[in-house]
Structure 1
Amino acid sequence: MLGLTGLEIGMMIVAAIIIGFSKTGIQGATIPAVALVAIIFGGKASAGIMLPMLMFGDLIAIYQYGKQGKFSDVLKLLPAAVVGIVLGAIAGNYLDDRQFKMLMGIIVMVCLALLIYREVTKRVLRVPDHPVFHWGVGAISGFSSMVGNAAGPIFNVYLLTQELTKNKMIGTTAWFFFLMNLIKLPFHIFMWGTITWATFRYTLIMIPFIAFGAVLGIKLVRKINEVWYKRIIMMMTAIAALRLFM
């Protein structure tokens, strides 16, 4: 089907379930899905194939949690994220992917170390409420999202410092990534050529599996308390950071 082997179809189904689950459940869990799709299609092509799938998952999360999202955080970061996306689109054909991922891994691990310190010492970690800081986080998120789908860990670290409830975290994340992914869409279609009618068929076929994963995520979130929810995100972020070094 669609030129894929049975094993590859199975990998796509697993990736679709993970995408849905990550959008309504554990943020950062998309990393295994990114890896699976990249194995099938390669790095750059897989980014285009995954984008519509991620956007569908974002819409489900917005429907479920969008009203609880902290839109002020989205607005603080979005303008800089647009700049990062544009730079990422331009650099995408020339960037040394391995070097970039190693740099992102270092950034994420440093941020994660600060969060672990906060949890151990029970001190609230305050981030500077300054336009320069917000622009830095937004630009890094946009650039890394466009080039390597690595924005999740950075944004997770930023949100975890905001002392939000889990539902507000999911809602804020859903809005931020849906708007970023919407901005990325024309670059994938017209500049990189990684989204076509042929590649969009994969999204259409995977919609039921993305929805299934989203339902699993919604049910799981209801059963996890605030402390363990944040700890799980930290663990997923650590796994994501380690993957960036590979």
Structure 2
Amino acid sequence: MLGLNGIEWMMLIIAAIIIGFSKTGIQGATIPAVALVAVLFGGKASAGIMLPMLMLGDLIAIFQYGKQGKFSDVLKLLPAAVIGIIVGAVMGNYLDDKQFKALLGIVVLICLGLLIYREVAKRVLPLPKNPIFHWMVGAISGFSSMVGNAAGPIFNVYVLSQDLTKNKMIGTTAWFFLVMNLVKLPFHIFMWGTVTWGTLRYMLLMIPFIAFGSWMGITFVRKINEVWYKRIIMIMTAIAAVRLFI
């Protein structure tokens, strides 16, 4: 069916559940899903197959947490993120992905170190108010999202620095990535050709599993306290950063 055998369908189902869980539960947990889908379809093709699945997860997260999201943070980063997406779309066929991911991993680990210091020292690290900082975060997020679905760690660092509650963090993240993914969609359709009616069939078949993963994420967030939620986000961000070097 659709060129996949039983084991491959199981891998895709697991990836769909992880996507749903990560969107409503632990941001950054999509890393295993990215790896699974890449194994099945290859790097570039997998980005297009995952995009509609990620957008569905974003919509579920917005339905649950959207009203609590801090949309002002999204607006600060959006213009630069769009530019980053455009640059990533143009350079996608020529970029040395391994070198870029290594550089991105260094940036994420440095930022993560600052967040760990904040947690240990029990003090909030204020973000620079300079617009250049927000443009840098937005541009890197947009570029890395378009090229390698690696924007999660950067945005995790940014949103954790805002000292938001867990529900506000999820809502803000959901709005940001839904807008980003909507901007990416035309490039995947018309430039890369990685989103087609054929690839959409995978997303349609995965809707029940994405929904199940989303329910798992919502249930998990209700049961965990704020401190441990942020610590788990940091752990997932660290894992994501390490993966960028591989």
- Mapping for residues 91-102 of structure 1, pairs under 5 Å: 91-102=91-102
Deviations 1:173-221 (A, max 9, x none): 0000000000000000000000111111000000100000000000000
Q: Quick one: distance in 2 between partners of 1:196 and 1:123? A: 48
Q: Quick one: distance in 2 between partners of 1:51 and 1:107? A: 25
- Mapping for residues 16-165 of structure 1, pairs under 5 Å: 16-165=16-165
Secondary structure of the corresponding residue to residue 27 of structure 1: coil
Q: Which residue is equivalent to 1:206?
A: 206
Amino acid at match of 2:37: V
RMSD (CA atoms):
0.5
**Stretches of structure 1 lacking an aligned partner (at least 5 in a row):** none
Q: Quick one: distance in 2 between partners of 1:16 and 1:123? A: 37
Amino acid at match of 1:85: I
Amino acid at match of 2:76: K
Secondary structure of the corresponding residue to residue 222 of structure 2: helix
Shift of 1:99: 0.6
Q: Quick one: distance in 1 between partners of 2:5 and 2:109? A: 37
Task: Detail structure 1 runs of 4+ shifted over 3 Å in the superposition.
Answer: none
Q: Quick one: distance in 2 between partners of 1:32 and 1:108? A: 18
Amino acid at match of 1:224: I
Q: Quick one: distance in 2 between partners of 1:123 and 1:25? A: 25
Q: Which residue is equivalent to 1:238?
A: 238
Q: Percent identity?
A: 80
Deviations 1:119-148 (A, max 9, x none): 112221111012111111000000000000
Number of equivalent positions: 246
**Stretches of structure 2 lacking an aligned partner (at least 5 in a row):** none
TM-score (norm 2): 0.99
